[in-house]
Amino acid sequence: MRTAIEYAVFTALAIIGLATLFALQGPGAVVDSALGSGGLLLEVAPLIAGALLVSAYMQLLVSRERIARLLGDQSGLRGLLIACIAGALTPGGPFAAFPLVVGFYRAGVSLPLLVTYITAWSLLGLQRALVWELPILGHNLMVIRYLVALPLPLIAGLIARRLVKLLPDAKGGP
């Protein structure tokens, strides 16, 4: 049932997107866009396959009890800080970070900590900031952006803690 709803949502998104494109730019743009998506799928597929294996190995190898103690629901502020630092130190794009996130989630890391982790990875990731942001945007904007981003992963994690209590998990797991 849940998967049926998900498929419906994804199908609707694809149809709405392509229909809007058709209305604005005609059939040629739709074909171009679909071909581009097909190419991206071929690029992403081997990556996703690897990601699924990484997350499956982590799920079976990592001790759930130890993870739950360090990074579970009861881990408090220390857990949030660990997640924040780990996120900032994780290099690479979503292809590198999300296999880890899936693996951590299944190994018992709490959802709010993963929200903090993803937020820290996307905002404080040193690699992206130094390799792309600094050279292209210049140091003025980059330094200000980085400074104001420092507290944000913790804020997101604390909000997520509230929301998790408001929206209890029906089935569990991704």
Partner 1 sequence: MLAGTIAVWVFVGALALYAHFRRSSVHKDVLKIAWEQFKLLAIRLPLALLAAGALTRILPQDFIAAKLGGASGFEGVLLGSVFGAILPGGPIVTFPIVVLFMKSGATAAPLVALVTSWSVLALHRVLIYEMPLMGPRFVGIRVASSIVLPPIAGVLAGMLLG
* Sites for partner 1 among residues 87-146 (CB under 8 A): 92-96, 98-99, 101-102, 105, 111-112, 114-115, 118-119, 122-123, 128, 131-133, 136-137, 140-141, 144-145
Find the shortest distance in angstroms from Cβ 174 to partner 1. 4
Which letter, b or e, does each residue of 137-158 get, where b requires 16 or more Cβ atoms within 10 Å of its Cβ? eeeeebeeebeebeebbbebbe
Residues between 37 and 66 with contacts to partner 1, criterion CB under 8 A: 37-38, 40-41, 43-61
Q: What residues between 6 and 25 interact with partner 1 by CB under 8 A?
A: 6-7, 9-11, 13-14, 16-18, 20-21, 24-25
CA 81 and chain centroid, separation: 18
**Letter string b/e over residues 40-76, b meaning 16 or more CB atoms within 10 A of that residue's CB:** eeeeeeeeeeebeebbeebbeebeeeebbeebbbebe
Please identify, using beta-carbon distances, which residue of 89 and 131 lies nearer to partner 1: 131
> Which of these ranges, 35-43, 64-72, 74-82, lies near partner 1 under the rule CB under 8 A?
35-43
In the chain, the amino acid numbered 113 is L
H/E run at residue 11: helix 2-25
Task: Quote the least distance from Cβ 74 to partner 1, whole Å.
Answer: 18
Q: How far is the CB of 70 from partner 1 (least distance, A)?
A: 20
- Tokens 């979503």 belong to 94
